[in-house]
Chain A
């Protein structure tokens, strides 16, 4: 039997842990009603990383999910990053989805990216340790998660900045 009540209580606890109420629904640029569509992270847009595979995953609650696998060519495949993007229905939906994702992490809480010198997205959480080996951030209605997946882990800061700037470039193209 699935303990729905426990799951709900846990979700509330996660929101508290991540101080959800202090950032939910807020954007750094534009307004909270910006909705980007068909955002794609391409081959030539990320420096020093080669796109090995891009896949449209089964939709999550009607939200379009894409996964990209990048490798650092000079590493012989040892440096490997996964990028997952989720196109949510609104800014707030992206922030709720961020909670949905971090509640599947075994780590009880993650540090804010700003505390580790990384400024990306409207809200961003990094990882524990000296370097950010994974980052999850929301920019407008787009949720982006970057994780190391290779045997030679690297900081994902620069990669995350480039992804964020690509997402921001879609905002620049939005009419009106």
Chain B
């Protein structure tokens, strides 16, 4: 093949007739391509092409604690969507021009080509764009393509495997030629993840993990705001993962370093194959799991405790068949939940460790279970005890504790454990 494309009206006319002859099987595809096309290769696609920002591209992510994700995310040979992941935030990208950057090579070396991609799911199809080449490589090396048809945010939080069917035409060819089919896993979250997750520095073990996003985006799928997302994640942790409460002692299984770290790698092992550190958890674990996964999709929770030493009204512990008390009795030395704001009386919380009695008399049977999600810690903390029945306030501690001084009267906000990085335990 020569080093340059032929061009001009006569060549286009020649190619038009050649196309017809090809359709009629008078000439071969190879002959048509040699005369009227080029040898184009899609070499790489970069989603996170600006690691210092994420309003016009994907954000910084890594696969897990041990494995970073290199950019460009897609390169020749990658066939699985999971091998080419990208994550976008709804809030920061709203109304912004979002681009990917793509590298191509070509023969002949000075061709120009029109390139487009069909499909694309949430990122949409890519409109035709003319790409220039110098010495067989696209100019600039990574060409910017605007995602004009993306629908980030329309369906709220989501994880979606998308496919782009890339096509091209060049050297006077009038027909779109298939170039490459690429697969990508796209995560859509509400806004920038909060601690323990960090965007900077990059690359860092505390950058959002795609292996955790796989779960968080599934549990909170379709949610458009923080409260709904955290509620969905709390309920998923409580009801769908096979976790059970440590009735023997109420000990944490998924923290280490004196409650300083969240053993997320082990927890993902549990989610994937039932191994890790097992299915037994306590309140610290539940609060940490809820906080970490919720904050990964853009919520702003922290694990904080209430205490100390208070009596309990029957509740339905995580993994339990019905209402009752823990195996060690009807009392907690402390309790830890995923809390909003400044973990005060008026601040709402999310508790994946148990379900409370949600009816107008939470201190006696029959019990009507209620997920404690986005519920105020105490709507009337100084009220004289015992409280009157019917009790209809959506107020957490009153539904958790006995209706007396040893229960409601002894359960007060304390704050995060001192070693817990303000209740946002780093992940390992």
Interface residues of chain A, those whose CB is within 8 Å of chain B, are: 1-4, 6-7, 9-10, 13-14, 52, 57-61, 65, 67, 69, 77, 80, 82, 100, 103-108, 110, 127-129, 132-134, 145, 147-151, 153
Per-residue contact bits, chain B 245-286, to A (CB 8 Å; 1 contact, 0 not): 011111111001111110000000000001101111011100
Q: With A and B bound together, what is the CA distance between A4 and B333 in angstroms?
A: 16
Contact between A149 and B279, CB atoms less than 8 A apart: yes
Q: With A and B bound together, what is the CA distance between A113 and B258 in angstroms?
A: 23
Q: A65-B256, A128-B329 are in contact. Are A7 and B418 (CB under 8 A)?
A: yes
Contact between B278 and A1, CB atoms less than 8 A apart: no
- Size of the B side of the interface (Cβ < 8 Å), in residues, is 44
Which residues of the other chain, B, contact A132 by a CB distance below 8 angstroms? 248
Q: With A and B bound together, what is the CA distance between A6 and B308 in angstroms?
A: 8
Which residues of the other chain, B, contact A134 by a CB distance below 8 angstroms? 246, 248-249, 251
Contact between A104 and B284, CB atoms less than 8 A apart: yes
Contact between B253 and A129, CB atoms less than 8 A apart: no
Which residues of the other chain, A, contact B334 by a CB distance below 8 angstroms? 10, 106
CB < 8 Å: which of A2, A61, A67, A150 contacts B256? A67
Q: With A and B bound together, what is the CA distance between A57 and B260 in angstroms?
A: 11
Q: Does B153 make an interface contact (CB < 8 A)?
A: no
CB nearest neighbor in B for A67: B256
Task: Please classify the interface of chain B as helix (H, G, I), strand (E, B), loop, or mixed, using the class held by over half of its residues.
Answer: loop
CB < 8 Å: which of A14, A59, A106, A128 contacts B335? A106
Which residues of the other chain, B, contact A6 by a CB distance below 8 angstroms? 307-308, 414-415
Which residues of the other chain, B, contact A7 by a CB distance below 8 angstroms? 414, 418
Which residues of the other chain, B, contact A107 by a CB distance below 8 angstroms? 248-250, 326, 328-329, 333
Contact between A108 and B256, CB atoms less than 8 A apart: no
Which residues of the other chain, B, contact A59 by a CB distance below 8 angstroms? 257
**Closest approach, in angstroms, between the C-beta of A155 and any C-beta of chain B?**
11
**Closest approach, in angstroms, between the C-beta of A69 and any C-beta of chain B?**
7
Contact between A100 and B258, CB atoms less than 8 A apart: yes
CB nearest neighbor in B for A107: B328
Q: With A and B bound together, what is the CA distance between A30 and B327 in angstroms?
A: 37
**Which one of B259, B332, B333, B428 has the highest number of Cβ atoms from chain A below 10 Å of its Cβ?**
B333
Q: Does B222 make an interface contact (CB < 8 A)?
A: no
**Closest approach, in angstroms, between the C-beta of B326 and any C-beta of chain A?**
7
Contact between A2 and B415, CB atoms less than 8 A apart: yes
CB nearest neighbor in B for A110: B249
Q: With A and B bound together, what is the CA distance between A145 and B277 in angstroms?
A: 14
Per-residue contact bits, chain B 16-50, to A (CB 8 Å; 1 contact, 0 not): 00000000000000000000000000000000000
**Which one of B250, B259, B415, B422 has the highest number of Cβ atoms from chain A below 10 Å of its Cβ?**
B250
**Closest approach, in angstroms, between the C-beta of B387 and any C-beta of chain A?**
24
Contact between A57 and B332, CB atoms less than 8 A apart: no
Contact between B278 and A13, CB atoms less than 8 A apart: no
Q: A134-B251, A149-B280 are in contact. Are A77 and B275 (CB under 8 A)?
A: yes
Which residues of the other chain, B, contact A69 by a CB distance below 8 angstroms? 277
**Which one of A10, A69, A105, A150 has the highest number of Cβ atoms from chain B below 10 Å of its Cβ?**
A105
22 contacts between A and B (CB under 8 A): A1-B342, A2-B418, A3-B414, A6-B307, A10-B334, A58-B257, A58-B261, A59-B257, A60-B257, A60-B260, A61-B258, A80-B275, A106-B282, A107-B250, A107-B326, A107-B328, A110-B249, A133-B249, A134-B251, A147-B253, A149-B278, A149-B279
Q: Does B331 make an interface contact (CB < 8 A)?
A: yes
**Which one of A9, A13, A104, A133 has the highest number of Cβ atoms from chain B below 10 Å of its Cβ?**
A104
Q: Does B309 make an interface contact (CB < 8 A)?
A: yes
**Closest approach, in angstroms, between the C-beta of A116 and any C-beta of chain B?**
12
Contact between B248 and A60, CB atoms less than 8 A apart: no
Q: With A and B bound together, what is the CA distance between A173 and B136 in angstroms?
A: 71
CB < 8 Å: which of B253, B326, B422 contacts A149? B253
**Closest approach, in angstroms, between the C-beta of A13 and any C-beta of chain B?**
7
Q: A127-B249, A147-B251 are in contact. Are A80 and B278 (CB under 8 A)?
A: yes
Contact between B257 and A57, CB atoms less than 8 A apart: yes
Q: A128-B247, A149-B278 are in contact. Are A104 and B252 (CB under 8 A)?
A: yes
Q: Does B416 make an interface contact (CB < 8 A)?
A: yes
CB < 8 Å: which of B258, B261, B278 contacts A150? B278
Which residues of the other chain, A, contact B327 by a CB distance below 8 angstroms? 127-129
**Closest approach, in angstroms, between the C-beta of B386 and any C-beta of chain A?**
22
**Closest approach, in angstroms, between the C-beta of B265 and any C-beta of chain A?**
10
**Closest approach, in angstroms, between the C-beta of B64 and any C-beta of chain A?**
15
Q: With A and B bound together, what is the CA distance between A82 and B275 in angstroms?
A: 12
Q: With A and B bound together, what is the CA distance between A153 and B246 in angstroms?
A: 11
CB nearest neighbor in A for B335: A106
Q: With A and B bound together, what is the CA distance between A122 and B307 in angstroms?
A: 30
Which residues of the other chain, A, contact B414 by a CB distance below 8 angstroms? 2-3, 6-7
Sorted nearest first, the 4 A-B pairs with minimum C-beta distance are A149-B278, A106-B250, A127-B248, A107-B328
Q: With A and B bound together, what is the CA distance between A149 and B263 in angstroms?
A: 14
CB nearest neighbor in A for B251: A105
Q: With A and B bound together, what is the CA distance between A61 and B277 in angstroms?
A: 23
